[in-house]
Chain A
Amino acid sequence: MPTALRSFALLVVAFLTTAAQAAPGPAASMVRISTTAQQPDYSVPWNPGNVGSGVGAGFLIDGKRILTNAHVVSNATFITVVKEGDPTPWEARVLHVAHDCDLAILGVYDERFFEGTKPLQLGGIPALESTVSAYGYPIGGNRLSVTTGVVSRIDFQPYSHSEVDSHLAIQIDAAINPGNSGGPVMQDGKVVGVAFQGFSGAVAQNVGYMIPTPVVRRFLKDVEDGTYDHYMDLAATYFPMLNPAQRAALGVEEPDAGVLIGSVFSIGSSAGKLQPGDVILSVDGLKVYSDGKIDLDGERTEMAEVFERKFKGDQVKLEIMRDGARQSLTLELDRPWPFEMQARSYDKRPRFVLVGGLLFQPLNRDFLNSQKDVDTRLRYFFDYYVTDHLYREYPEVVVLSEILKDPVNTYVAPFKGGIVEKINGQQIRSLQDVAAAFEQPGEFHVIELLGEGRPIVLERSVLAEASERIRQRYGVTTEQNL
């Protein structure tokens, strides 16, 4: 399903806004955001990258801030905002951005922008079947558009901006289209969600998603201290326990409680605390049902929602069953880094090292998306990086991703796409290791890839000359970005 989801915005061609009367209601809080963005080029990482532009929506919240989607302002080089009824474009900047929940806060350099504006207030979770209205600047015009629909579903959904995160999301049947992104969805004069993604193509119709206010509030609270700390995670996998024999063998007597811990990541909140085979019976005093749900605020929802609402350093109390005995545990929550390799990244330059025409890049989603042919080994290392705990051995997987053909490396071509295991005898577990290993003295640089194969040998005596030649011929502006 995540592949069918598309982030909206960044697709609508910019038009000039014409003057209009300041409208009452949400219109007075609406902002049209025009972004010029530069997408990094992971296949030629020293390239500046393609420049494009797009339009999204945003709205004013208290503290002279504008709330919008992260994807509206990702990789931005220049942002302007226009108020409804004011022709002037004002230059804005990103104050905080949370790519894991697709939210961003903008500020405007010139305080006069906020004259005559009215911040919107956040509401709660709207009831199923209740009517909501989405405000934004979708395809086909530069004036404010309003569409109305009902709340169809409240559930955890993948957030397509990062491609790995799932949070609470609300499905509505109001038409939501590119350009609606970042716009408020209103009910009874309050914001109940931020429109952010929909289904594209023929799979579904009238399926739009908004980020509900618990997610928005969490973001606003997280940045109160000036930095965004990312969502917290249990850093362990857990599974429904519906099998009676499984329940009996693990000593779970309550008929409908408990989830089974499948694996515990060696890094993160649960490391050294939880063990595979443990059964979680309750979280912060809330009973965990055997399908992994809890009762929270009167709703039956995912157990993960408890961790979702917490912040870095917060504690969570677990009651578990281990070896047939009840135990209590307190975990301190932290962010789970192994997943970040599988997430898309934004506002970052691609990291790489180029030596003798050999390009070394860390394996991650952006890199993989830029590659045409990906062999079994790389696909496995990416897909099973977390599942098979490859991160324990490889905090970073470094790939010999490209060979810029030159006399110095003419026999190296078949090694393209290999995972780098050692350079000059040193184990390579991060891109920094690559740069450091090439600093080693010696007559030869010796590069060993994972699996069978001969070592790649580069003679240092000819390397400086070759590197200069490669820089000139291939237009390489810089040879590394760590």
Chain B
Amino acid sequence: MNTAPFLSVAVFATLLVSAPLGQGMESLRPYLPSAEAMPSPTDLSVPAAEPSPAMAAEAKTGPLPPVVRVNVASQSFNFSQPWRKNPPVLRQGLGVVLTDGRILVTAELVNNHTYVELEKPETALKAAAQVEAVDYDANLALLAAPAAEFLQSINGARLDETAAVGDRVEILQLESNGTPVRTPATITTIEVGAYPVDENAFLVFKLSAPLQSRENSFTIPVFKNDCLVGLVMRYDPRSQTADVVPSPVIQHFLDAAGREPYAGFPRAGLTFSDTRDPQLRRFAKLPNGTGGAYITKVLPGSPAEAAGVAVGDVLLRVDGKTIDQDGNYEDPRFGKISLAHYVSTVMQAGQKLPVTVWRDGAEVQLEGTVAPRDRSSMISQPYIFDAPPKFVIVGGLVFSELSRQYLREWGPNWPREAPLHLVYLDRYQSELPDNRGKIVFVSDVLPGPNTVGYENLSHEVVEEVNGRAIKSLADLAAAVDSPTGPFHRIKLAEDPGLVVLDVEGSKAEEERIQRDYRLPSLRQLDGAE
């Protein structure tokens, strides 16, 4: 058996890495003094005579903050035993009520949700809610507006359009009794940075703030003058810095969510390197004193490829914006910001992108149309939520498709602990041939008479089954369904190279396995793309 050594708990542990204020800290709450008993600096900003929740509901003194509690039951899938779901967990967060009555949360709060519920802070009135749109790349989700009377007395928040480095903002949390707690914070940095689940980079506001762990630990909103600045997605208690999904990213998400089909965040499909090295500049015949970003990779099928951008080109201007030596442009609001922000967030999918590149000592004008990344063409998905893992069981051998979600079953240190060749294939998938297809491998062996001698198989990549090249689990299922003789011949990329199963024996074994292991099915092919 080669079951991944981590069970369901580890999956959530990885989630908590990107949300350190999550449930791991909630469990510490009983040991902390109650919030009432411990006046924190933040309490000073709250009016001293804060009425009790019941009184607040009746007295309706002043506008209530534009937030509701969002309680989510979620159940993730177990990628090492793909027929199984992990135990359900409960997460709590704050949702921001928008002016149209819809509610904004981080995508992390609602991933793999089985039930989403809204709760009014001051009355604990509850209502079921639907997820209307979700973008895991940008870590944002939108919940449909509840019945009008539910949000009575709550005015929706507008998005902030002015926050800049140095500005004072407020982080909003709620006491367990519904009392708002506003923690002052300062925006220290605005830059393009990593988001939790992918190598995607979007605009990030970094705040300096002393945050306390409270029960609404996912999706903590940040306000400036009652306008939404962003949602906290990470908090490091040691350095007391919070990373925030900021309003420009939220605005783009809301715009995209208003159009069908949801197009998300566009990309150019290239990677670049700085051109600060004077030796590189002279080699590329770049004039001194100018900028330019050195193109190091153009993704196949990307807008950049369609526009004719090539590796070795130096990007000088994009949509009329001059690109400096670090690949930044001058944003009217944020100053020098990576080009990635302009393409992904300022632009909308489908817009034309004129670019000027430096090639062989001369400027070349090119034009492309930015588009979201075609996720289904990726060899290994960076994440899979809300959909079961795909698998196929053949005569006791379990086959899976490589995804980073699978590798995360090895826990937070998966890049060092998961099978190295799979980590390598995932990490460097952009270097594999364009027509590589998905990577199908033996993920487990359920031992039985049919699999004698195969007990030690462990993560060997499948190349061919019954003479057919395997570029997806669907290929494998189809190949198994049409055997060419009395045996299934499974050719592996790694040793032992060839595994043979008896066709009739496998069928009998599959019946036994389904019965003895209580499997709902022997195949799951409708997973996420």
Q: Point out residues on A near B: beta carbons under 8 Å.
A: 237, 239-246, 248-250, 260-263, 276-277, 376-377, 379-380, 383-384, 387-388, 408, 411-412, 444, 446, 451-455, 457-459
Decide if A376 touches B497 in the complex (CB within 8 Å): no
A250 contacts across to B, CB distance below 8 A = 500
Nearest chain A residue, comparing its CB with the CB of B503: A245
Q: How far is the CA of A239 from the CA of B494 in the complex (A)?
A: 12
A-B contact pairs, 21 of them (CB 8 A): A241-B453, A243-B499, A245-B450, A245-B487, A245-B502, A245-B505, A246-B453, A249-B489, A250-B500, A260-B497, A263-B495, A376-B423, A377-B428, A383-B420, A387-B421, A412-B277, A444-B279, A452-B430, A452-B431, A455-B280, A459-B279
The interface residues of chain B lying within 8 Å CB-to-CB of A377 are 424, 427-428
Which residue on B lies nearest to A462, using beta carbons? B279
Q: For this complex, into which size category does the number of interface residues on chain B fall?
A: 35 or more
- Quick check: is B454 within 8 A (CB to CB) of the other chain? yes
Say yes or no: A245 contacts B415, CB within 8 Å: no
Note all chain A residues with C-beta closer than 8 A to B273: 453-454
> How many contacts between A and B, using CB within 8 angstroms?
106
Let me know if B501 and A245 touch, CB within 8 A.
yes
A376 and B420 contact, Cβ closer than 8 Å, known pairs A387-B494, A387-B495: yes
Tell me if A243 and B283 are in contact (CB < 8 A): no
The chain B residue with its CB closest to the CB of A410 is B277
Q: Does B451 contact A (CB under 8 A)?
A: yes
Question: A384 and B421 in contact (CB under 8 A), knowing A262-B495, A444-B283, A452-B297?
Answer: yes
Chain B residue numbers with a CB within 8 Å of A388 are 421, 493-494
- Knowing A262-B497, A376-B420, A376-B424 are in contact, say whether A244-B452 is a contact too (CB < 8 A): yes
- Verify B451–A243 contact, CB threshold 8 A: yes
Q: State whether B496 touches A260 (Cβ < 8 A).
A: yes
Q: Mark B245-280, 1 if CB is under 8 A from A, else 0.
A: 000000000000000000000000001010011011
Q: Which residues B423-458 have CB closer than 8 A to chain A?
A: 423-424, 427-428, 430-431, 450-454
* Interface SS of chain B: mixed
Q: Which residue of B lies closest to A446 (CB)?
A: B283
- Measured CB to CB, the closest approach of chain B to A356, in angstroms, equals 10
Select B415's contact among A237, A262, A263, A376, beta carbons within 8 Å: A376
Residue pair A454, B498 in contact (C-beta under 8 Å): no
Q: Is B342 an interface position by the 8 A CB rule?
A: no
Beyond A250-B500, A459-B279, is A242–B424 a contact (Cβ under 8 Å)?
Answer: no
The 8 closest A-B pairs by CB, nearest first: A242-B453, A411-B277, A262-B495, A245-B502, A243-B453, A239-B496, A246-B500, A454-B273
In whole angstroms, what is the CA distance A276 to B494 when docked? Answer: 11
Instruction: Name the residue in B420, B495, B502 with the highest tally of chain A Cβ atoms < 10 Å from its Cβ.
Output: B495
- Give chain B residues whose Cβ lies under 8 Å from the Cβ of A451: 428, 431
Given pairs A243-B452, A276-B498, 15 additional interface contacts (CB within 8 A):
A241-B453, A243-B500, A245-B501, A246-B453, A248-B502, A262-B496, A376-B423, A377-B428, A384-B421, A387-B421, A388-B421, A452-B430, A455-B280, A457-B283, A459-B279
Q: How far is the CA of A237 from the CA of B496 in the complex (A)?
A: 8
Residues of A contacting B413 in the complex (Cβ-Cβ under 8 angstroms): none
A249 contacts which of B271, B294, B500 (Cβ < 8 Å)? B500
Query: What is the minimal beta-carbon distance from A39 to any residue of chain B, in angstroms?
Result: 28
Chain A CB within 8 A of B282 CB: yes
B351 interfacial contact with A, CB 8 Å: no
The closest CB in chain A to the CB of B426 belongs to A376
B497: nearest chain-A partner, CB-CB: A262
Closest chain A residue to B499, Cβ basis: A246
Contacts of B486 in A (CB 8 A): 248-249
Docked Cα-Cα span, A261 to B450, in Å, equals 21
Give every chain B residue within 8 A of A260 (Cβ-Cβ): 496-498
| Of listed B280, B486, B502, residue having the most chain A CB within 10 A | B280
Smallest distance from the beta carbon of A31 to chain B beta carbons, Å?
Answer: 44
Q: Are A243 and B454 in contact (CB under 8 A)?
A: yes
Smallest Cβ distance from A242 to chain B, in angstroms? Answer: 3
Contact between A457 and B453, CB atoms less than 8 A apart: no
Q: Which residue of B lies closest to A384 (CB)?
A: B421
Query: B2 at interface (Cβ–Cβ under 8 A)?
Result: no
Kindly provide the distance from the CB of B172 to the nearest chain A CB, expressed in whole angstroms. 40
Question: Is the beta-carbon distance between A240 and B296 smaller than 8 angstroms?
Answer: no
* Nearest CB of B to A223, in Å: 34
In the assembled complex, the CB of A111 is this many whole angstroms from the nearest CB of chain B, namely 53
List the B residue with the shortest CB-CB distance to A247: B500
Q: What's the least CB distance linking A291 to chain B, in Å?
A: 10
Asked whether A457 lies within 8 Å of B499 as measured between CB atoms, the reply is no
Q: Are A249 and B424 in contact (CB under 8 A)?
A: no
Q: Are A452 and B277 in contact (CB under 8 A)?
A: no
Contact call A263/B497, Cβ cutoff below 8 A: yes
State how many angstroms separate the Cβ of A3 from the closest Cβ of chain B: 16
Please indicate the chain B residues that have their CB under 8 angstroms from the CB of A454 in the complex: 273, 280, 294, 296
CB-defined contacts of A261 to chain B, threshold 8 Å = 497
Specify which chain A residues have a CB less than 8 angstroms from the CB of B428 in the assembled complex: 377, 451
Please report the C-alpha to C-alpha distance between residue A376 and residue B431 in the assembled complex, in whole angstroms.
14
A243-B453, A245-B487, A444-B279 known; A384-B420 Cβ under 8 A: yes
Interfacial chain A residues near B421, Cβ < 8 Å = 380, 384, 387-388
Residues of A within 8 A of B452 (CB): 242-244
Q: Which residues of B contact A459 (CB under 8 A)?
A: 279, 282
Contact partner of A458 (CB less than 8 A), chosen from B279, B297, B424, is: B279
What CA separation (Å) do A411 and B294 show in the bound complex? 14
Residues from chain B with Cβ under 8 Å of A276 in the complex? 497-498
Q: Which residues does chain A contribute within 8 Å of B451, judged by CB atoms?
A: 243
Min CB–CB distance B275 → chain A (angstroms): 8
- State the Cβ distance, B273 to closest chain A Cβ, in Å: 4
**Cα-based distance from A388 to B298 in the complex (angstroms):** 27
